[in-house]
Amino acid sequence: MQLVTSGLRAPWAVDLAPDGRLFVTERAGRVRIVQLGPGGGLRPDPWATLPASTSSDGEKGLLGIALDPDFTQNGFVYLYYSYGPPNGVTRNKVVRMRDQNGLGTQETIILDGIPGNNTHDGGRLKFGPDGKLYITTGDAEDGANAQNPSVLAGKILRLNKDGSVPPDNPTPGSAVWSLGHRNVQGIAWQPDTGALYETEHGPSNFFPDCCNDEVNLIVPGGNYGWPTVRGAPNDPRFRDPLIDSGRTETWAPSGATFATKPGPLRGSFLFATLRGQHLHRVVFGPDGHTVLFQEKLLTNQYGRLRDVFEIASGEFLILTSNRDGRGVPAADDDRILLVTLR
Ligand SMILES: [Ca+2]
């Protein structure tokens, strides 16, 4: 393990520019820059500071980030954040900023009106292999949202990068790609098949009615059952998870990636866990849904883990989340770690 940087506060997501700048969101609203490589490190001044609504006991704030696939040409950076008055209604939105002279400018709304709350705000942004922008949302603490196709909460959404709806989405004119989700914080595409997988938080705070964290294989228009069903009930109306943490164990799964580089790990699905305090590795069979093998890595070594990100060398960046109001931070938390898994 190598330390990439310390001194962050509740980092949530990262993306890497071709020039070696690592863009990092902090939940309170800052976008930070860590220059990778010799002589680099965490820049003291943020790239941008957004008016995010956050709380020490919740999950809302500045969450996901994705750099445009054509970042070198257009400098576009996409961000997901919560906003609203301290005691009023929370909403989430996706905005785009432009990198100009090393700072974020020209905030432009891509998608607004995603229902939010103190918790269950989703927040992951990634570009798919199809060049579309995928957005994960939470149910905003109201399970009924997840089954309502006309609400953006409790969904995985898919948009063109200008915010328009692609004509091949399952429902014409709708950003909804899949529904019936409680709170999705991780998405990743299998490098050989291009299939989309997600991680989803189960209802861990309601003992003994616990825990059912999920990993799902996403199909367009699929309904993943929340809040009508939990676990894998084999109900024909819904799609069962590939992995379910069961009724006694909570992982609180967040950011996910596949290992895509050549080597023995290629094709492994990796996700960071918060309450579970480990990096979870899954090997699926050739059919894409049979689970051949699972293991827990880095268990209880670095505390709560928020995101995992693969870099060109095949190593992984891991974000700790010990200053998110729910952890026990070490003096130098939060950190970004570089780990080699092979
Ligand atoms: Ca489900």
Ligand 1 geometric centre to CA of 157 (Å): 16
Ligand 1 geometric centre to CA of 102 (Å): 41
For residues 271 and 215, the answer to whether their CB atoms sit within 8 Å is yes
| pLDDT one-digit tens code per residue, 240-293 | 999 999 999 999 999 999 999 999 999 999 999 999 999 999 999 999 999 999
Q: 59: buried, middle or exposed (CB in 10 Å: 19+, 13-18, 0-12)?
A: buried
Output the pTM of the full model: 0.97
Ligand 1 geometric centre to CA of 211 (Å): 12
| pLDDT one-digit tens code per residue, 157-181 | 999 999 999 999 999 999 999 999 9
Report residue 138's pLDDT band, with 50, 70 and 90 as the boundaries: very high
Distance CA 131, CA 127 (A): 6
- The tokens for 114 are 């995603």
* Radius of gyration of the chain from its Cα atoms, rounded to whole angstroms: 18
Ligand 1 geometric centre to CA of 22 (Å): 33
Mean pLDDT, the chain, whole residue set:
96
Ligand 1 geometric centre to CA of 231 (Å): 6
pLDDT, residue 220, reads: 98
For residues 331 and 284, the answer to whether their CB atoms sit within 8 Å is no
Distance CA 108, CA 98 (A): 9
Report residue 48's pLDDT band, with 50, 70 and 90 as the boundaries: very high
Is residue 223's pLDDT more than 90?
Answer: yes
> Which sign does the torsion angle of CA 329, 334, 340, 342 carry?
positive
What is 2-339's CATH number? 2.120.10.30
Ligand 1 geometric centre to CA of 173 (Å): 25
For residues 309 and 34, the answer to whether their CB atoms sit within 8 Å is no
All residues with CB under 5 Å from ion ligand 1: 224-225
| pLDDT one-digit tens code per residue, 1-43 | 999 999 999 999 999 999 999 999 999 999 999 999 888 899 9
Q: Is the peptide bond before 227 cis (omega within 30 degrees of 0)?
A: yes
Report residue 141's pLDDT band, with 50, 70 and 90 as the boundaries: very high
For residues 257 and 170, the answer to whether their CB atoms sit within 8 Å is no
Ligand 1 geometric centre to CA of 123 (Å): 18
Distance CA 340, CA 297 (A): 11
Ligand 1 geometric centre to CA of 179 (Å): 9
**Percent above pLDDT 90 for the chain:** 94
